[in-house]
Structure 1
């Protein structure tokens, strides 16, 4: 049983002399519960960052509130719960439901507001994937671009022999243990290049160069691993001569008319963290969702999904009926959904067929989203039925 949600203001979490020392959020504890309840809304106070430029005039979000109080579905323990219980019990910081272009539900909890940027973790990967897919669609780069040709520093690593497409679809075959529950796993050592300059001062590029093991030949199996997104970002930087923030601004944020405060966290080498660094408001994610639901070559190719056979090799038991394309999860079970997810409860769920998008930002006690997938699935199914 997970601990109950807390109010960080009542608990005294934060930074400052008035906060008891054992309650202060620090560079060492900010990603752990309960300190994350405060930290995910204040990352710029904890980690170096760079602003993300958006549209001068953000796209309007019309409002058409709907009453969701009548929704009922099975909770985590099999009991019947309502919508409010679901939202409150899942450590929600912000949630928006967008239907037919209008916001029908919007809530902020845990001290968050509509203007507060929230740490998105691996939703960042999906935004970076949009940049890459747009550059490929425009002919600015090729999907078959060899990783080591663009980034020679990776030529002696296991990334040699991989292509940009294989990175974007996570079929590159690099061996990497992303078990957050195991404190000795690769992901915890690698993340020092994000947050711990005294351990890994050079950032992600030298850390990527040390990944020298394979578990599969390139292009033969899917497996989800965070550093692959950082490798893809280095390919994009070198192929374009541009910073990642400028690429996201030009190819995603401004076209979607996102315009609230947003920023990228920087790795220990001073570069934007592509695997986990974007911070943005729930409303800007709603604008991004509406932009993608409008369709177009990139959005249409993403919702069509990746190679389901390769996905089944590496993730058959993780998410049945899914595939992975351009750093997006794709659920092929009707209605088809395009999904961006980040640890600790971040989720952007888009159903183009139903003109429906659900944005959830949270600060859960546990990083993994796998255990909560069934509950969210039941909640979204009840919502879908209600809207019909």
Structure 2
């Protein structure tokens, strides 16, 4: 799997790192270091303490999770280099904080590490994008949002940016063509400067909104190219806010979180201007992600209540332009496409994935009734680094449960 030499997946407290090794993590983690390993091991479970946030209130009638426990400790599978990996080794090598498996409506496996518990919210990074993509599809079905409308129709301030002339659908599927470098491994990539509008007050005073207006270069005409870029999700967030006149916190709480029966409060982090971060800001417990996953696997139903129009889910599951996806360069995601801020796999059982950097995964396989929720604090940002071992793990889990 990994030819890159990685540090060991240490738990807090981490001894022997610097002169302050015995100082508790909450005194050692700062807004300057919290996204780097090993400080991230603590910080991703405490991001709302480091960055301002807004609360998404829990449901007053939480959904009970049916439990049918299965032992997965005996399974093994190959890593990306063909070496057989034991289950416990897999959890450790991928820097797991939480790992939950749902099968046919029941929670069958639950594991926590690195101090995380069932009550601990974890920063989900770009899983956030998929929640707002789902919200957009709901609003489209309800006639609130026109997928063929132009960005500047909703957000006139972006009329001089590269997003002008792009449709809502192109924003949803990231085929807008605006030039932006999201190579996390390159310290000079544009994504690191852009993220200052998220996390660095002294550098990003105007927040995401001002940063978006500064993205004026084009890499391709609208609709001609798929490229995954975080700012596009932030454009979607502003479109949703303007189209509904409601905050993203209220939209997510009213239309997904509470209807799904989520039992704990979630949080959305705020950028340097005090606006909700649509591209990466959601914090939630793994069990509440499981409740959302069950709702999606059940076709939008919770008990006898239809929460999400089935056509909204169908519009995601059909996937995006596979030709554009193949040309975009994701060799670890063959047979895939990108639609409404979700990663779609068209092979085998078919699946939908919401992915966040540093190891956040929400994996749905409607054909087999399988769902996997995992959070982590991997030293490597890009999930492409562990795509193969996770795909092999999911295959092994499916076989074991069958």
The answer to whether the superposition gives a TM-score over 0.5 is: yes
1:105: which partner in 2?
Answer: 109
1:181 correspondence with 2:185:
yes
Q: Deviations over 1:56-101 (max 9, x none)?
A: 1221111111011221211355332221221122110001000011
Distance in 1, matches of 2:400 and 2:24, equals: 46
Residue 3 of structure 1 deviates from its aligned partner by: 1.4
Match of 2:371 among 340, 354, 357: 357
Assess if the C-alpha contact under 8 Å between 1:166 and 1:219 holds in 2.
Answer: yes
Alpha-carbon distance, 1:143 to partner: 0.8
Cα distance between partner residues in 2 of 1:309 and 1:81: 34
Alignment partners' CA distance in 2, 1:214 and 1:273: 23
* Distance change (3 Å), C-alpha of 1:98 and 1:21: closer
Give, in whole Å, the separation in 2 of the partners of 1:298 and 1:12: 51
> How does the TM-score come out when normalised to structure 2?
0.93
Which residue number corresponds to residue 318 of structure 2?
304
Asked if 1:343 corresponds to 2:357, the answer is: yes
Secondary structure in 1 matching 2:384: coil
Of residues 262, 271, 282 in structure 2, which corresponds to 1:267?
271
Alignment partner of 1:73 is 2:87: no
Query: Aligned residue for 2:304?
Result: none
Residues in 2 aligned to 1:21 and 1:123: alpha-carbon distance in whole angstroms: 26
What's the secondary structure of 2:240's corresponding residue?
A: helix
> Aligned with 1:309: secondary structure?
helix
Match 2:328 to one of 314, 317, 320: 314
TM-score by length of 1: 0.96
**C-alpha distance in 1, partners of 2:189/2:356?**
18
Distance 1:285 1:262 in 2: 10
Give the aligned partner of residue 137 of structure 1: 141
Q: Offset at 1:318?
A: 5.2
Q: Secondary structure at the match of 2:383?
A: coil
1:290 aligns with 2:287: no
Tell me by how many angstroms 1:255 deviates.
2.2
Any gaps of 5 or more consecutive residues in structure 2? 300-309
The aligned counterpart of 1:370 is: 384
Q: What does residue 114 of structure 1 align with?
A: 118
C-alpha separation in 2, matches of 1:327 and 1:20: 38
Task: Decide whether the 8 Å contact of 1:222 with 1:315 is kept in 2.
Answer: no
Could you say what secondary structure the match of 1:194 adopts? helix
User: Quick check: 1:43 aligned with 2:57?
Assistant: no
Unpaired segments ≥5 residues, structure 1: none
> How many angstroms does 1:319 deviate by?
2.1
Q: How many residues align?
A: 386
State the Cα RMSD in Å: 1.8
Secondary structure of the residue that 2:367 maps to in structure 1?
helix
- Residue in structure 1 matching 2:86, options 62, 82, 86: 82
C-alpha change, 1:310 and 1:79, in structure 2 (3 Å) is closer
